[in-house]
Structure 1
Amino acid sequence: MTNTAAPPTSTPPAPATESVAVVKRTSPVARIFENYALLILTAAVFLFFTFYPPSSAAFPTINNLNVILGSQAVVATIAIAALFPLISGYFDFSLGATAAMAQVLCAGFMANSGWPIWAAIIVPILIAGVVGVLNGFLVTRLHMSPFVTTLGMAMLLSGVTLWYTGGQTIISGIDPAITRFGSTRFIGLPVVVYIVLALAIVAWYFFTHTPYGRSLYAIGSNAASARLVGVRVDRNVWWSFIVAAVIAGGAGVMQLARMGSATASGGNELLFPALAAVFLGATAITPGFFNVVGTIIGAIFVSISVSGLTLSGASGWAANVFNGLALLVAVGLSTYLGRRKRRG
């Protein structure tokens, strides 16, 4: 289980005798800087690659910004999906594989089975929901470790997806309508960006203004206490896995619309940047706690950084190194901030 879960609650004013260190920690300037440090860093990275000679010609162009936002859309969608179990205190490492499975099935149903586009989209998302049902059952009913459960599910889905494709990339036979949708722009931005923004707004409202959303924070903070006040912990956690899997399935379909092809090997390429975005987001806006706005900023930071490295001539392994380092640093910072918030 994770510890970076519950939103900050109001505390009474500190006594006049409290130490100067506490006063400094709660000063408005320090609090603003702490809350928006990731946003400032994102802007700084953008400016750096804009003026850095090796990348200055291609990085600040409209075309590259559209590529960044388009690629960020899928990562951000999976990151939002990951928030549901993470806020309740559980990891789900199967989300990337679930998205890859949905992407491959959607393409395969159209290319190999001749399904209509609506069925080829809906059925893979429903199958993704079944994956969430299984994850939730194994974790809440059989009390299996969520780490082992979802990691095993990811390996299982990767194997099944590889078997379904025969190790080949599905390119031909995909309905052109879905790829047209993926490349459509509205007011200069890819349509998928607006879908992610709408999803982010719904998720933000869900987590902050609905009893179920607040119950997930309570479970993540202290499941035993939540159970004592009447929260149906197991049911709510189970549903968090289902919702996460359904959103991941939608992300897979979105990836197919963007790429126009499907391969079985794309799961980890989506999961780890998404996790980095989530944990980076836990260092912003409400530091120490998972939140939607911080997650979106984290996804943009990751996409901008990887794009800048690529256009600067960095080798192909640089993106993996960056994502790994970003994830390690983000987990460390979010864990530290979460503990400090609870102590304070």
Structure 2
Amino acid sequence: MRLLEQSGLPLLLVIMIVCFSINPTIGAVFASEANVNNVLGNQAVTTLVALAMVVPLVAGYFDLSVSGITGVANIVVAAAIGPHGLPIPVGILMGVVGGALIGLVNGFLVAKARLNGFVVTLGTYTFLLGLIAFYTHGTLITSGIPPSFGEWTSKTTLGVPRPFLLLLVVAAVIWYVLTQLPYGRRLASIGSNEDAARLVGINTDRVVWTSFVISGVLAGAAGALQTSRGGAGDPTIASAYLFPALAAVFLGATTINPGHYNVWGTVIGVYFLATSVSALTLLGADVWVQPVFNGAALVIAVALSTLIARRRERVAARAAISQ
């Protein structure tokens, strides 16, 4: 059962890829290099947003503002290097620093002011949507953005899209921080029992606050990557990533390390959803299929992660009684 829980979603993804690849209707297009590169490259931003959500979730805190931070960073980077004519590295830095500052404010309100993280970050998300609408008036920012900015993300290295390679590097770093460093163990301790973590000497306020800053940095980086991928500042993307990222995070909690939010499970969750939607689109599904599929996947993922957690609690209780 443990092995099935760990490998169920990856195995299902592999089976799905094989089935769609041999489908006589869409197999040739689905398995084509163009489609594979499109799925791998396009989902890098969504995955970064999902990973931004994972960091505070390990400590038991939701950050629903990550999609809004990505939207703000996208606009900041586009405006900086476009209309304002700043160098590309400066524009990227402004987007990432802006994300860090928003995360800093979120962390203060949650860790220091002791406000509910779910409500605070939902409010921040809504506030950022309004801020973007005020600045852009609902129009794209395209003027002055050099074509060279999008060239890096449009190319491949060894046949693999560069955004996907960048994602793998970032995911590996986050995995290392969360699983191999004391900071990650402190986050997990807080997520397990915050009061007990405080009693053993962990500075829970600082750890939680830092997790929101890291989340903001990752979301800001996702916004910068989106600017390069899209070649514009798009006021609509701030609301485009929240629910796909949530669905992927909860799906990820059902695999690799079941019952726990984890990096590689989240990556698999994103590409499971993306592969499914890509195949359904090629089969001729209407535009409403993607939000319906993502919503259903979110509900199922929450249900599965809850059932897995309950099963673990029952197993632990029986083990404690038997001893």
TM-score, length-scaled by structure 2: 0.94
Say yes or no: does 1:317 pair with 2:288: yes
Q: What is the CA–CA distance in structure 2 between the aligned matches of 1:266 and 1:233, rounded to whole Å?
A: 33
1:74 and 1:251 in contact (8 A); partners too: yes
Q: What is the CA–CA distance in structure 2 between the aligned matches of 1:255 and 1:306, rounded to whole Å?
A: 20
Q: What is the CA–CA distance in structure 1 between the aligned matches of 2:285 and 2:227, rounded to whole Å?
A: 27
Report the AA paired with residue 106 of structure 2.
N
Say yes or no: does 1:274 pair with 2:245: yes
Match of 2:50 in 1: 79
Report the AA paired with residue 40 of structure 1.
L
Say which SS state the counterpart of residue 58 (structure 1) adopts: helix
1:71 and 1:303 in contact (8 A); partners too: no
Match of 2:140 in 1: 169
Match of 1:33 in 2: 4
Equivalent residue for 1:219, pick from 190, 195, 205: 190
Shift of 1:69: 0.2
Shift of 1:54: 4.0
Say yes or no: does 1:187 pair with 2:187: no
Report the AA paired with residue 260 of structure 2.
F
Q: What is the CA–CA distance in structure 1 between the aligned matches of 2:95 and 2:222, rounded to whole Å?
A: 11
Q: What is the CA–CA distance in structure 1 between the aligned matches of 2:293 and 2:149, rounded to whole Å?
A: 32
Superimposed CA distance per residue, residues 286-336 of structure 1 (whole angstroms, 9 cap, x where no aligned partner)? 111111111111111011011111111111111111111111111111122
Number of positions where the alignment pairs a residue of Structure 1 with one of Structure 2: 315
Shift of 1:245: 0.7
Q: What is the CA–CA distance in structure 1 between the aligned matches of 2:134 and 2:95, rounded to whole Å?
A: 16
Say yes or no: does 1:143 pair with 2:117: no
Say yes or no: does 1:229 pair with 2:229: no
Say yes or no: does 1:66 pair with 2:37: yes
1:257-336 matches, within 5 Å, as 257-336=228-307
Q: What is the CA–CA distance in structure 2 between the aligned matches of 1:54 and 1:171, rounded to whole Å?
A: 38
Q: What is the CA–CA distance in structure 2 between the aligned matches of 1:283 and 1:303, rounded to whole Å?
A: 17
Q: What is the CA–CA distance in structure 2 between the aligned matches of 1:234 and 1:270, rounded to whole Å?
A: 28
Report the AA paired with residue 304 of structure 1.
T
Match of 2:127 in 1: 156
Q: What is the CA–CA distance in structure 2 between the aligned matches of 1:342 and 1:206, rounded to whole Å?
A: 27
Q: What is the CA–CA distance in structure 2 between the aligned matches of 1:288 and 1:94, rounded to whole Å?
A: 23
Say which SS state the counterpart of residue 57 (structure 1) adopts: helix
2:83 and 2:143 in contact (8 A); partners too: no
Say which SS state the counterpart of residue 241 (structure 2) adopts: helix
Q: What is the CA–CA distance in structure 1 between the aligned matches of 2:45 and 2:29, rounded to whole Å?
A: 22
Q: What is the CA–CA distance in structure 2 between the aligned matches of 1:40 and 1:60, rounded to whole Å?
A: 18
Q: What is the CA–CA distance in structure 1 between the aligned matches of 2:157 and 2:307, rounded to whole Å?
A: 41
1:54 and 1:313 in contact (8 A); partners too: no
Shift of 1:262: 2.1
Equivalent residue for 2:78, pick from 90, 104, 107: 107
Q: What is the CA–CA distance in structure 2 between the aligned matches of 1:280 and 1:197, rounded to whole Å?
A: 19
Report the AA paired with residue 262 of structure 2.
N
| Farther-moved stretch of structure 1 (129-138 vs 262-271) | 262-271
Shift of 1:173: 1.5
Unaligned runs of 5+ in 1: 1-29
Match of 2:23 in 1: 52
Report the AA paired with residue 159 of structure 1.
G
| Farther-moved stretch of structure 1 (167-176 vs 214-223) | 167-176
Say which SS state the counterpart of residue 29 (structure 2) adopts: coil
Superimposed CA distance per residue, residues 12-40 of structure 1 (whole angstroms, 9 cap, x where no aligned partner)? xxxxxxxxxxxxxxxxxx32222100011
Match of 1:244 in 2: 215
2:187 and 2:207 in contact (8 A); partners too: yes
Equivalent residue for 1:205, pick from 171, 176, 201: 176
Match of 2:91 in 1: 120
Q: What is the CA–CA distance in structure 2 between the aligned matches of 1:152 and 1:44, rounded to whole Å?
A: 40
Shift of 1:57: 3.5
Structure 1 residues 54 and 164, CA gap change in structure 2 (3 angstroms): farther
1:288 and 1:339 in contact (8 A); partners too: no
Q: What is the CA–CA distance in structure 2 between the aligned matches of 1:60 and 1:189, rounded to whole Å?
A: 14
Q: What is the CA–CA distance in structure 1 between the aligned matches of 2:25 and 2:72, rounded to whole Å?
A: 37
Q: What is the CA–CA distance in structure 1 between the aligned matches of 2:89 and 2:216, rounded to whole Å?
A: 19
2:59 and 2:190 in contact (8 A); partners too: yes
Say which SS state the counterpart of residue 257 (structure 2) adopts: coil
Q: What is the CA–CA distance in structure 2 between the aligned matches of 1:149 and 1:31, rounded to whole Å?
A: 36
Q: What is the CA–CA distance in structure 2 between the aligned matches of 1:216 and 1:343, rounded to whole Å?
A: 24
Q: What is the CA–CA distance in structure 2 between the aligned matches of 1:69 and 1:331, rounded to whole Å?
A: 25
Superimposed CA distance per residue, residues 25-68 of structure 1 (whole angstroms, 9 cap, x where no aligned partner)? xxxxx322221000111112212322334432321110000000
Shift of 1:100: 0.9
Report the AA paired with residue 294 of structure 2.
N
2:259 and 2:309 in contact (8 A); partners too: yes
